[in-house]
Amino acid sequence: MVRNYSVRTDLALEEKERFESDDVEIQGVVLEEDYDEEQELRVTRVEIRTENGAKAMGKPVGTYLTLETPNLAIPDEKSHMDIAARLCGYIRELVRKNAGEKKEDLSVLVVGLGNREVTPDALGPYVADHLCVTRHIVKEYGKYAMGLEHADLISAIVPGVMGQTGMESTEIVRGIVKETHPDMVIAVDALAARNSKRLNRTVQIADTGIHPGSGIGNNRSGLTEESLGVPVIGIGVPTVVDAATIVNDTMENFIAALESSDSLKGVGEVLRSYNAGEKYEFVKELIAPHLNGMFVTPKDVDEMIHQISHTISEALNMLFTAEDPCRHDAPV
């Protein structure tokens, strides 16, 4: 039986893991996993193929690629370029899949979602800052001004958040799409995770668009093909985790410790008999109202966000402005 409880996460991988932990198989959802031991890099592909699968997962039909590595936020140049090259390849896969017949000289609008003034939410704006925008150059001087036979037209916008502008990000982006007619939108945003171990070391790439604020229960209008009229690729990195989740994980470790004790094994087994949903709701009641609704981020998140934003923008620059895309030694 599927438990009807809500764990705050934007990652399709974590939604799938929740059902697997309950020994529930979802029809229409396929998971594939690949692990590169040398680079400590795990790539998981979740494909939601049917409407029933989408309803069970709470996410639209589409492809969700998740790249996990502890090196994502480490300031090491080799790791940075290697991860950027891998990201470039996965983004290119979804771009080609959704570009239709037009495979070259694409016009792409990159949207940096989030609040620049709040560090865990500043990923999108920082990525936009580091992008190599080319639309104005190609429009003015032609693609040969870029020194390339084929040149994509890259533009970028940071729409801010509703508290700053009084407008939904979707409304702003829809107006820009109407005026500039891009072939595709790539939206970059900070996400929320269920597992604290995935904070700042996971990138999710999806061809279903992105819904700002959904992971923290602050649902805003989504940037999707339905709302904008063009395909939308969503790129996100989890930077916050629900406080209740951290307490819940601590409780799981506590139960495991009780079960390993001869004298307290019975207590551990009783607590273990509660399902995941019951334990999570119990934890939320325990910490309310003081910590309920609180989200936590690592103390060095400012350095991490800067590093990760460089990696993602490097991947996009490799893809759209390099002569030989997605090679880590390609000039950008």
Task: List the CATH number of the domain containing 206.
Answer: 3.40.50.1450
Domain assignment present for 148: yes
Within 13 Å and on the Cβ side, how many CA atoms surround 69?
A: 25
pLDDT band at 4 (very low <50, low <70, confident <90, very high): very low
Beta strands of 100-165 (E only): which ranges? 107-112, 153-157
Domain assignment present for 6: no
Q: pLDDT, tens digit, for every residue of 97-112?
A: 998 777 778 999 999 9
Q: pLDDT, tens digit, for every residue of 10-37?
A: 888 877 766 655 555 678 888 899 998 8
| Total domains, the chain | 1
**What values do phi and psi take at 283, rounded to 5?**
-65, -45
Contacts of 176 (CB under 8 A, 6+ apart): 109, 157
Q: From the CA atom positions of the chain, what is the Rg in Å?
A: 21
Tell me: pLDDT of 148 over 50.
Answer: yes
Report the b/e string of 125-162 with b at 16+ CB within 10 A.
bbbbebbbbbbebbeeeebeebeeeebbbbbbbbbbbb
Domain assignment present for 330: no
Domain assignment present for 329: no
Q: Which of 78-92, 132-146, 254-268 has the lowest mean pLDDT?
A: 254-268
User: What's residue 174's pLDDT?
Assistant: 96
Give the total residue count for the chain.
Answer: 332
Full domain range(s) for residue 57: 12-245+292-321
Q: Is residue 279 packed enough to be buried (19+ CB in 10 Å), middle (13-18) or exposed (0-12)?
A: middle
Q: pLDDT, tens digit, for every residue of 180-225?
A: 999 999 999 999 888 888 899 999 999 999 977 654 556 667 899 9
In the numeric block, the tokens 């090679």 are attached to 327
Count of other CB atoms within 10 angstroms of residue 264: 12
Name the residue with higher pLDDT: 328 or 322: 322
Mean pLDDT, the chain, whole residue set: 84
Name the maximum alpha-carbon separation found in the chain: 78
Percentage above 90 pLDDT, the chain: 49
Tell me: pLDDT of 1 over 80.
Answer: no
Q: Is residue 331 packed enough to be buried (19+ CB in 10 Å), middle (13-18) or exposed (0-12)?
A: exposed
Domain assignment present for 77: yes
Domain assignment present for 280: no
Domain assignment present for 221: yes
Domain assignment present for 150: yes
